[in-house]
């Protein structure tokens, strides 16, 4: 037996009957020869981890725009925290950890610069519409590797596409990622908001504290334990924990996600993104060479969307300055 075959035999013997076995994957759009060492889901995880879009996440906003201090989350650290929470849940439920991790690492590859402000900016200005989860699928299918895509398995793509809203993923592993994403971002956003002086721990309502806990660690522990205790045919929280978790999300929406202090620069970010989009739609010949194929195949608007969505915060500002900010005269 190869190493991969031993791993797949282990999966068949020890994973839950509700788990997706890597040997049973629905496969890839372009069939490939099997790897002797890694299962298909392990290969997907590695492809995502080594792709360019994943590396760019380190310079993309999570909640606080381009924070100057080191300890605020970025889109990359958020992704790693999601993967950690999701793997803990998957292991406890005897689901496929490799599939869960691959979806986790790929779920935000299509996120724009400046977080959800950038996403709203592109959705408002583009007739193509824009969502970060559809863009994440586009990244892995059409943009990475000079347009060839990563050729991921069906299960990973399905989990990435359905990780946030609308219809749930077809696999329990994908549903784990969807809930782990919410568990991670709400709790680390609380910590970042406290660090930024936007929120105090004691501002959180007492009933939420009583049920979920009074610290990030306590809340994540409560939520993960509740998922493990109550998930059978689907992935869910216990009723009281779900109620207070929803209350916490509403509280964060009111106190942080729409807080003028935390979002004071978003208007500028939206204007910057929309100016860049309009510029490259009007001047598609100015797009970098790797987007020429997209421009010729899918049109200038689609190419402009792909280019801007892939930018880091810093790169978007750099391009804007090069286009619109006058430079000092020098001889």
Three-state DSSP state, 61: strand
Predicted local confidence at residue 66, as pLDDT = 61
Cβ atoms of 18 and 172 closer than 8 Å: yes
CA distance linking residue 298 with residue 293, whole number of Å: 8
The closest of 61, 137, 107 to 316, measured between CA atoms, is 61
Q: Is the model's pTM score more than 0.85?
A: yes
Which positions ≥6 away from 236 have C-beta within 8 Å?
Answer: 179, 227, 230, 242
Predicted local confidence at residue 69, as pLDDT = 63
Within 10 angstroms of residue 181's Cβ, the number of other Cβ atoms is: 23
Predicted local confidence at residue 328, as pLDDT = 73
Q: What angle do CA 234, 236, 240 make, to 5 degrees?
A: 150
Predicted local confidence at residue 264, as pLDDT = 77
CA distance linking residue 124 with residue 118, whole number of Å: 10
Mean pLDDT by 10 residues, the chain (331 residues): 97 98 98 97 98 96 70 92 98 98 98 93 93 97 95 98 95 98 96 92 97 97 98 97 98 90 84 96 93 91 96 95 84 62
CA distance linking residue 245 with residue 241, whole number of Å: 6
CATH code of domain 24-257 = 1.10.3210.10
Portions of the chain given CATH number 1.10.3210.10? 24-257
DSSP 8-state secondary structure symbol assigned to residue 107: T
């Amino acid at each position: 037996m190869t190493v991969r075959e031993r791993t797949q035999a282990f999966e068949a013997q020890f994973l839950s009957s509700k788990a997706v076995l890597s040997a049973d994957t629905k496969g890839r759009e372009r069939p490939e020869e099997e790897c002797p060492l890694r299962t298909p889901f392990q290969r997907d995880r590695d492809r995502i981890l080594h792709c360019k879009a994943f590396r760019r996440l380190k310079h993309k906003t999570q909640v606080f725009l381009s924070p100057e201090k080191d300890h605020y989350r970025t889109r990359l650290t958020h992704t790693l925290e999601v993967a950690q929470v999701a793997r803990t849940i998957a292991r406890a439920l005897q689901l496929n950890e490799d599939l869960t991790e691959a979806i986790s690492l790929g779920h935000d590859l299509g996120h724009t610069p400046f977080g959800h402000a950038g996403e709203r900016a592109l959705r408002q200005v583009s007739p193509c519409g824009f969502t970060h989860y559809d863009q994440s699928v586009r990244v892995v299918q059409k943009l990475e590797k000079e347009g060839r895509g990563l050729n991921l398995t069906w299960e990973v793509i399905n989990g990435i596409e359905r990780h946030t809203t609308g219809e749930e993923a077809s696999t329990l592993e994908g549903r784990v990622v969807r809930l782990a994403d919410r568990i991670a971002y709400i709790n680390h956003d609380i910590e970042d908001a406290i660090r930024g002086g936007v929120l105090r721990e004691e501002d959180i309502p007492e009933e939420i504290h009583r049920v979920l806990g009074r610290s990030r660690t306590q809340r994540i522990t409560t939520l993960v334990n509740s998922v493990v205790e109550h998930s059978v045919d689907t992935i869910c929280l216990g009723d009281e924990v779900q109620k207070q978790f929803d209350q916490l999300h509403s509280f964060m929406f009111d106190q942080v996600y729409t807080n003028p202090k935390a979002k004071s620069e978003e208007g500028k970010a939206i204007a910057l993104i929309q100016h860049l989009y309009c510029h490259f739609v009007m001047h598609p010949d100015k797009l970098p060479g790797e987007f020429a194929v997209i421009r010729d195949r899918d049109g200038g608007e689609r190419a402009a969307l792909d280019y801007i969505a892939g930018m880091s915060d810093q790169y978007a500002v750099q391009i804007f300055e090069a286009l619109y900010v006058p430079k000092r005269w020098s001889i």
